[in-house]
Structure 1
Amino acid sequence: MTPAEHQALTSPRLSHPARSLYLLYLRHQARGELTHPLDYPSLGRALAVQGKGDYRYRVTPADLTALVDELQQAGLLALEERPHPQHYHGARFRLPLKNLQGLTPLPARQFAMYPEWRPDEQFEGLARLCGLLDCHFDDVELGEFIAYWLGRPEVFENQHQWMLRFVRQLKNRRALRRTPGLEPHTGYQQTPPVQSASGPSKRAQEMMAEARRLGGEQQESHDEKDT
């Protein structure tokens, strides 16, 4: 499967029967980029789900026509030959995305944050692409990022998406350091605006904001235990 096919097949607008029709039958049985002439009876039997004494799922000819329309709208099929204008029985299609490799590999698997997570060798290029010219970070910045997302094990991202989140945190921190008076946020939640020059120093304000954030997380943890 090419990255272009993967992107089209994972569209939320595409139904599971349409994905199955493409992956398990049309693509699998195609000769190069062209399908065999579609045979509605055999496709109907292939997609049917047998139950005890009856079918739990079956498709009608009208259903098959609708599924093929879905695949065409997603860009996975392009009509080459259509003997009957009302349906696609006997029609042949081209698979335009089958050999379209694209510039990026298939998305990596998603995972929850873990203590040993580190950005990979693509981080510097990704950071510069996002406008973060100084992509260096220290153990404190990385540790705070990991610690925050360790507390949210329900969040799953792939490596690229985790690095994007980390880039956003670093950009927010750099903006906070460069812009006095800016209403900062740490990348996770908003904090109160910085005080005037007569108030606490900028570093003290950052430390107080971090303490309030940590205190809020601890309070949430206690509340969850109480409930």
Structure 2
Amino acid sequence: MNSLELDALQLPLSNNARALYCVCLAPKSDAKTGSVTISYKDMMHLLNNKEEVVQLGRQFNSLLKELSHVGLVSITDEQSFKLSLNQQEITLPLKISKELRPPSNEHHQGFGKMSIEWRPDPDLFNQICQLVGVIDKGYSADEIGEYIAYWLGYPEKQFTQYQWTQKFVLNLKLRRQRQPVSKEQTKVGHQWITPQAALETDDNVKKLVEKYSGKQ
């Protein structure tokens, strides 16, 4: 299991979801494509080894949806967590991360607190977006402002640049899998995106963060 998978597994997940990934999905995935065929029967046998953990297909789908929220699982536009995925092929995108340029070691070194001036490294941001399947690789002042403002409320939390960026990308993915926030957004696959989205100026971001953090 690579470092990207381990980082994702440390994000908020139920223990059952972690077990499903580590015991049922990752060992059976294709090393080159990251694909794995879902078998409810096999997963039930492995997870219910000592006690009954899951019994219904929708319970497995709920665990798979958890994993998708942190970028460990990806389904196609034609698939849905609301429908049966039994005997269907899904993808573990972080399994094939070695095909991409590995993040610079500097992104994994040095833990730091969140600050108003924080911005994701552009190359690292784009790479993680590609890994977890974020379609729209731009972000707005609202999106980064709310993210920074949230973490400013937890000054005791310290992460590396890679971890801060990974959390931001996964936050964007979650937002875009929900309802659109503006009339201009359109749905592509499972995500709502803004056509030709562009980055807002740093001044606008700083004003928004100061507003949320009560510094105005």
Q: Which has the larger radius of gyration?
A: 1
Specify if TM > 0.5. no
Tell me which of the two structures has the higher relative contact order, counting C-alpha pairs closer than 8 angstroms and 6 or more residues apart. 2
TM bucket, shorter chain: 0.3 to 0.5
TM-score, with structure 1 as normaliser: 0.40
User: Normalising by structure 2, what TM-score?
Assistant: 0.42
